[in-house]
Amino acid sequence: MLKAGIDIGFGDVKAVFSDNRKIKFPTAIVRDPGGAFNVSTGKEEGFHNYNGSNYYVGKTALHMGQTYSTRSMEFMENFTPLLVHVALEKAGFINSEVKHLSIGLQLGKSNAVGKAFLLKKIEEGVVDGKKLGFEHVEVIPQGVGILLDSRFNWQGQELVGAGINTLVVDIGFNTVDVLVAIDGQPKKGRSEMLERSGISWICERLIARVKERTGSGLTEQQAKNALLNGYVEMYGKKIDLGLDIKEISNGYAEWLHSELRSRWEEQMAQFPRIILAGGGAHIVKPYMPHYMQNIITPAEPEFANARGFFKWLQVQKKAA
Ligand X SMILES: Nc1ncnc2c1ncn2[C@@H]1O[C@H](COP(=O)(O)OP(=O)(O)OP(=O)(O)O)[C@@H](O)[C@H]1O
State the nearest-atom distance from the C-beta of 114 to ligand X, in Å.
15
Residues of this chain, 201-230, that bind ligand X according to CB under 6 A: 224, 227-228
Contacts of 61-67 spanning 24+ positions with Cβ under 8 A: 61/26, 61/28, 61/29, 61/30, 62/26, 62/28, 62/221, 64/30, 65/30, 66/30, 67/28, 67/29, 67/30
Among the listed residues 230, 282, 287, 315, the single contact to ligand X using CB under 6 A: 282
CA distance 147 to 296: 12
198 binds ligand X (CB under 6 A): yes
224 binds, among ligand X, Mg ion, none (CB under 5 to 8 A by kind): ligand X
Q: How many CA atoms within 13 Å lie on the side-chain side of 102?
A: 26
**Is residue 283 close enough to count as binding ligand X by CB under 6 A?**
yes
Contact status: 5 vs Mg ion (CB under 5 A) = no
Contact letters for ligand X, residues 104-143 (x by CB under 6 A)? ----------------------------------------
Instruction: Kindly tell me which of 3 and 14 has the beta carbon lying closer to ligand X.
Output: 14
- Exposure string for 27-41, b = 16+ CB within 10 A, e = fewer: bbbbebeeeeeeeee
172 makes contact with Mg ion (CB under 5 A): yes
Q: Which is nearer to ligand X, 58 or 279 (CB)?
A: 279
Segment interacting with ligand X, rule: CB under 6 A, options 57-65, 149-157, 258-266, 277-285:
277-285
- Residue 12 touches which member of Mg ion, ligand X, none, C-beta under 5-8 Å by kind: ligand X
Q: Which is nearer to ligand X, 59 or 130 (CB)?
A: 59
Near ligand X by CB under 6 A: residue from 125, 145, 184, 280: 280
Does 80 help bind ligand X (rule: CB under 6 A)?
Answer: no
* Among the listed residues 4, 5, 6, 11, the single contact to ligand X using CB under 6 A: 11
* Closer by beta carbon to ligand X, 28 or else 32: 28
> C-beta of 175: minimal distance to ligand X in Å?
4
- Judged by beta carbon distances under 5 to 8 A according to partner kind, the member of Mg ion, ligand X, none in contact with residue 173 is ligand X
> Does residue 9 bind Mg ion (CB under 5 A)?
yes
Q: Which of 61, 167, 193, 199 binds ligand X (CB under 6 A)?
A: 199
Number of residues engaging ligand X in binding (CB under 6 A): 19
Interface residues toward Mg ion, by CB under 5 A: 9, 172
Interface residues toward ligand X, by CB under 6 A: 9-12, 172-175, 198-199, 224, 227-228, 278-280, 282-283, 302
